[in-house]
Structure 1
Amino acid sequence: MKQEYNVTDNKVKISLAGSMYVEDAAVFRERLMDYANKGHKLFHIDMSGVDYIDSSGLGVLVSLHKMALQKGGELALYGLRGVVKELFELTRLIRVFDIRQ
């Protein structure tokens, strides 16, 4: 999985591409927690390039969402499409996350 990170105006912008499996989710979690531990609480994730995400990837997003809200921040997801969008709809996570176009 390809992961690109950029911090602008204290907002962590992340672009993901490819498939997210257990191994990728662990690396993703570590990077996100590094940013969170440095005081960042605004996360915008572009998922338009993601073609698959497993339960461990969803778990990372749920954990980050909870942590960001507790710190008065936000987690916004962009570009959900195809199977990934269907998964968010089936699991009703579409109601939990701030989904943007």
Structure 2
Amino acid sequence: MQAVLNYPKIAVISPQGCLNAANALEFERDMTTALAQNGISILVINLAAVESLDSAGLMAFLSVHKLALSLGRSCRLCAVAPSIRIIFELTQLDRVFEILDDEVDLTAT
């Protein structure tokens, strides 16, 4: 008997700078577009270059997370700087999102 492994298709988005009220809708639209592509089952958001995050940015993450769940897909975060991670921890959103150390962790999922 032969084992067949199906690896999910992964889309990676790497925002830069500030995720705030000024650009949250555009960021959400980009994430939604990536997640809605046929064949994509995991959306990874690489936050290595994100300097700050406000409540509008958090709402964009939550909106895309809800969309991912409704589509039977997953949304994960990676390379989250300590200053950004604390925002997820204070809001307890670190319990909602799977947070990976870096993109290399994807091979283990």
Q: Is the 8 A contact 1:51 1:84 kept in 2?
A: yes
Equivalences, count: 93
Alignment deviations for residues 57-84 of structure 1 (CA, whole Å, 9 cap, x no partner)? 1111111111111211100100111321
Number of the residue aligned with 1:5: none
Identity of aligned residues (%): 29
Q: What's the Cα RMSD here?
A: 1.6
Of Structure 1 and Structure 2, which has the larger fraction of its residues in strand? 1
Distance in structure 1 (CA, Å) of the matches to 2:58 and 2:87: 10
Which residue in the other structure is 2:34 paired with?
35
The answer to whether the 8 A contact 2:34-2:43 is kept is: no
User: Structure 2-normalised TM-score?
Assistant: 0.75
Report the residue type matching 2:14 in the other structure: S
State the partner residue of 2:76. 76
Q: In structure 1, list runs of 5 or more residues that go unmatched.
A: 1-8
CA-to-aligned-CA distance 1:44-68 (integer Å, 9 cap, x gap) = 0100111211111111111111111
Equivalent residue, structure 2, for 1:4: none
The CA distance in 2 between the partners of 1:31 and 1:83, in whole Å, is 23
CA, structure 1 residues 37+44, in 2 after alignment: closer, same or farther (shift >3 Å)? closer
